[in-house]
Amino acid sequence: MPNPLYDALFSSGRDSDRTFLVKADGETLRYRDFHALAARQANALVDAGLTPGDRLAVQVEKTPEALALYAACVMAGVVLLPLNTAYTLTELDYFISDSGARVVVCGPDMADGLQQRAGSGAVVLTLDAAGKGTLSERAERQPSTFSVVDRADDDLAALLYTSGTTGRSKGAMLSHANLLSNSRTLAELWHFDSSDVLLHALPIFHTHGLFVACNVTLMAKASMIFLPKFDLAAMLRLMPQASVLMGVPTFYTRLLADPRFNRELVSHMRLFVSGSAPLLAETHVEFEARTGHRILERYGMTETNMSVSNPYHGERRAGTVGFPLPDVDLLITDPETGAVLPNGQSGMIEVRGPNVFKGYWGMPEKTKAELRDNGFFITGDIGRIDEDGYVQIVGRAKDLIISGGLNIYPREIEALLDEQPAVLESAVIGVPHPDFGEAVLAFIVAKPGQEPDLAAISRTASENLARFKQPREFILLDELPRNTMGKVQKAALRASYKDRYSQ
Ligand code: MCA
Ligand code: AMP
C-alpha cells in the first residue's frame, strides 16, 4: 500500500540498527528507535482524534521527539503544520484557526493560553525541551508499530505558513510528491550517502532545517548531529565529527568571526551549504581563504522547496545561486507583462517543477495570483541569468526583510503600528546588519499636534510580534519620504539609514 514519503524516507528505518541522530551530549538514536518513537506518536495522534487529511499544529523546541512528529504525521496521513517557537499566542491563534488544526502540540508554557484561546476547541498536548509532556505520556502507552495510512502523490504532507505582503499569512500546501522530488534531487545533486554526518543546527519549523536537511539525510540513510539550536561552542566542538553543514549566512559569518574556526577543524568536511538569505560574496571569499572550502549556495522558498543550486562538481560561483535543478524550469520575466526576458536581463524569477506547491490553504484567489495556469510560480524575487547560465538574485519585488534567515513582512508590523494612539502612519524597513544580514527599523509619523508614546508602542510590539520581527528602534519622523505619486519611498529611508548598524 503506497505512502510516497513513508516508503522513501522512513520505511527502511524500521529494522535498521544504523545511527540516525546523535545529540549534543553524545546520546544516539538508531533508525529503528526513531521509527518506533514515530509509530507510538502516530498511534497517539489517532487516539487524540486525528484522521487522514487533518492538520496537526506543532510549536515545540527542537528534540528527536519533535522530529519524530514529522514521521508520525506522514505515517498517519496527517498534515504537519510546524510553527516558529518565537510566535506569540496572538500569532498562534491565527494559524490554528486558519488551518482548522484539531490537535496542537506545544511547549508547556503555551498550553494554558492556547487552551483558553483555541476558539476551534483544538485538543492541546505538550512536548517540552526534554521530549517530555502529555504527548510523550500518551505515546509511551501505545504500541511501537503502526499500520501506515495510504497516501497519493498529491495528498498534503505539510502546511507551512509564510507571511504575505498584504497582511494575512498564507499556508503553503506541500504534497508528498513536492517533498519527495526535492529530497531525491538534492540527495543526488549534493552526493549524499550513508557515511555522511550532517551537523544540524537549524530550526525544524522551516523548509531549510526540516525538509532540505532532514529529508536529504533520511533519503541517504545518513546520520545527523542534532543540536537544539545554533551554538558556536558546540558547533566548533562537534564539527570534527561531521561531514556536511547546512546553514543560513549568519552561521557562516559567526563561524568566521571565531579564530578557532580554521582549515584544520574542517579538514575532513565534505560540504558546506548556504541558503535562505543572500550570502555576501565577501563571506564566500573569506570562507575559502580560511578553510579551503567553497560554500555551495542554493536558492529556494517555502512554496517551491529548493529550485536552484550551485554545482557540487564545477565552479560554485560567489554571488550566484547556481543553476536550476534538473527537474526545475526557471524563467526570468517582465514583472509588468509576464513576457519572458532574454538572459542577462533582470526580471521576475518564475519556477515550475514537481517541487512547486499546490497552492495556499483556503485562498484560491491568492493562489491564482501567484501560481500561473501553466504551472509557473511567481516568486517575487528579482534575478538574472548570466552568460554561463548561473542565476543571480539581484533584489526583491516583494516588500520583505530577511533577518538571520527568518522572513519579516513590513506590512504586518506597519498594520500594528498604524493602530497605536497618536500614530498617523508608519514605515518599516530592513537595513544592513553585520550578524543578521538585515535588521528591522520602524519609522513613525505623529498625528498633528500629538505625541506617540514610543515606549508603549515598543511594549505592544513585543506582546504581539515574535521577537525576531520586533523593530530594533522606533524612530519619529516629521513625514515619510514620498515620490510625486505619493508613494512612500522606502529606498530613500534605506539609503539614509544604511550605516545604522555597520561596524
Ligand atoms: C534570534 N533573534 C533574532 C533572530 N534570531 N532576531 C532577528 N533575526 C533572527 N533571525 C533574536 C533573539 O530572540 C534574541 O533576542 C536576539 O535576537 C539574539 O539572539 P541570538 O542568541 O544571537 O540568536 P540565536 O538564537 O543564535 O539565533 C540566530 C540564528 C537563528 C542562529 C541566526 O535565527 C536561526 O537559526 N536562523 C535560521 C532561520 C531558518 O532556518 N531559516 C530558514 C527559513 P533578545 O536579545 O531579546 O534575547 S526556510 C527558507 O527561508 C527557504 C525555504 C530557504 O531557502 O531555505
Ligand atoms: P521563505 O518564504 O521563508 O521560504 O523565504 C524564501 C525567500 O528567501 C526567497 O523568496 C528569497 O527572497 C530568499 N532566499 C532564499 N535563498 C536565498 C539565497 N540563496 N539568496 C538570496 N535570497 C534567498
Q: What is the CATH number of the domain that holds 94?
A: 3.40.50.980
Compute the distance between CA of residue 322 and CA of residue 438 in angstroms, rounded to an integer: 23
Ligand 2: which residue has its CA nearest to atom 21? 278
199, 223 contact by CB (below 8 A): no
**Residue 321 beta carbon below 6 angstroms from any ligand 2 atom:** yes
Of 92, 121, 151, the last residue of a domain is 151
For ligand 2, the distance from its centroid to the CA atom of residue 114, given in whole angstroms, is 31
Taking 90 as the threshold, does the pLDDT of residue 503 lie above it?
no
Check pocket membership of 295 for ligand 2, CB cut-off 6 A. Answer: no
Per mean pLDDT, which range of 132-146, 164-178, 212-226, 270-284 is the poorest? Answer: 164-178
In a domain, 144, yes or no: yes
Q: pLDDT grade, residue 168 (50/70/90)?
A: confident
**Percent of the chain surpassing pLDDT 90:** 94
Q: Confidence band (pLDDT; 50, 70, 90) for 11? A: very high
Report angle CA 318, 320, 323 to the nearest 5 degrees.
125
CA 252 to chain centre: 17
pTM: 0.96
The answer to whether 50 and 76 have CB atoms below 8 angstroms apart is: yes
pLDDT at residue 241, rounded to an integer: 97
Q: Looking at the predicted structure, is the pLDDT value of residue 167 above 70?
A: no
Burial tier of 224 (Cβ tally within 10 Å: 0-12, 13-18, 19+)? buried
Set of cell numbers at residue 279: 550570502
Which residue of 174, 317, 378, 381 sits with most ligand 2 atoms within 8 Å of its CB, as the best mutation to test the pocket? Answer: 381
Distance CA 156, CA 74 (A): 9
Q: What is the pLDDT of residue 25?
A: 93
The reply to whether 378 falls in a domain is no
Q: What are the DSSP calls for 178-229, one per residue?
A: HHHHHHHHHHHHTT--TT-EEEE-S-SSSIIIIIIIIIHHHHHT-EEEE-SS
Q: Is the pLDDT of residue 394 over 60?
A: yes
Q: What is the span of the domain harbouring residue 419?
A: 401-497
Q: What is the pLDDT of residues 29-73, one digit of tens each?
A: 999 999 999 999 999 999 999 999 999 999 999 999 999 999 999
Domain boundary among 83, 118, 151: 151
Does some domain include residue 236?
no
Residue 91 burial (C-beta neighbours within 10 Å; 0-12, 13-18, 19+): buried
Domain end point (choices 124, 151, 178): 151
User: Total structural domains in the chain?
Assistant: 2
C-alpha cell, 135:
504527548
User: Could you give the C-alpha distances from 380 to 117, 308, 322, 335, in angstroms and in order?
Assistant: 34, 15, 18, 9
Kindly state the average pLDDT of the residues 426-444: 97
Question: Of the given ranges (77-86, 90-99, 318-327), which has the lowest mean pLDDT?
Answer: 90-99
State the average pLDDT for the chain: 96
pLDDT confidence tier of residue 165, bands split at 50, 70 and 90: low
Which one of the ligands is nearest to 322 CA? 2
pLDDT of residue 118: 62
C-alpha cell at 194: 550513508
Asked if 182 and 212 count as a contact pair (C-beta separation under 8 A), the reply is yes
Q: What is the mean pLDDT of residues 473-489?
A: 93
As to burial, measured by CB atoms within 10 angstroms (0-12 exposed, 13-18 middle, 19+ buried), residue 257 is exposed
The predicted pLDDT at position 486 comes to: 85
Give the pLDDT mean for 337-361. Answer: 97
pLDDT for 34 equals 98
Which pLDDT does position 108 carry in this prediction?
Answer: 97
Q: Is the pLDDT of residue 164 over 90?
A: no
Residue 358 identity (one-letter amino acid): K
Query: Is 439 contained in some domain?
Result: yes
Give mean pLDDT, residues 91-106.
94
Among protein residues, the one whose CA lies closest to atom 1 of ligand 1: 468
64's grid cell: 528527536
- Mean pLDDT over residues 366-390, rounded? 97
Q: CA 410, 337, 324: angle at the middle one, nearest 5? A: 75
Q: Give the strand pairing for 19-23 and 223-226.
A: parallel
The confidence score (pLDDT) of residue 120 equals: 57
**Is 383 inside any structural domain?**
no
pLDDT at 318 over 70: yes
Rounded to the nearest whole angstrom, what is the distance from the C-alpha of residue 396 to the centroid of ligand 2?
10
pLDDT of 187 above 70 = yes
pLDDT at 117: 77
pLDDT of 151 above 90: yes
CB atoms < 10 A from the CB of 236, how many? 15
Cα angle 397, 401, 407 (rounded to 5 degrees) comes to 105
> Is 411 contained in some domain?
yes
Which amino acid makes up residue 172? A
Q: Which of 278, 277, 294 minimizes the C-alpha distance to 286?
A: 294
Q: Which of 133, 120, 153, 154 is nearest to 69 (CA)?
A: 133
**Closest of 138, 142, 144 to residue 103, by C-alpha:** 138
- Residue with cell string 487552551: 115
Mean pLDDT for 228-238 is 98
pLDDT-based confidence at 133, cuts 50/70/90?
very high
Task: Give the relative orientation of helices 108-117 and 89-99 as an angle to the nearest 10 degrees.
Answer: 60
Give the pLDDT score at 166: 62
State mean pLDDT over 450-471.
Answer: 96
Three-state SS for 128?
coil
Q: Would residue 105 count as lying in a domain?
A: yes
State in Å: Cα 409 to ligand 2 middle. 13
- Ligand 2 within 6 A of 278 CB? yes
434 falls within a domain: yes
In the predicted model, what is the mean pLDDT of residues 280-298? 97
Ligand 2 lined by 301 (C-beta under 6 Å): yes
Query: For the CA atoms of the chain, what is the radius of gyration?
Result: 23
Q: What is the pLDDT of residue 402?
A: 96
pLDDT, residue 163, reads: 77
356 neighbors 304 (Cβ within 8 angstroms) = yes
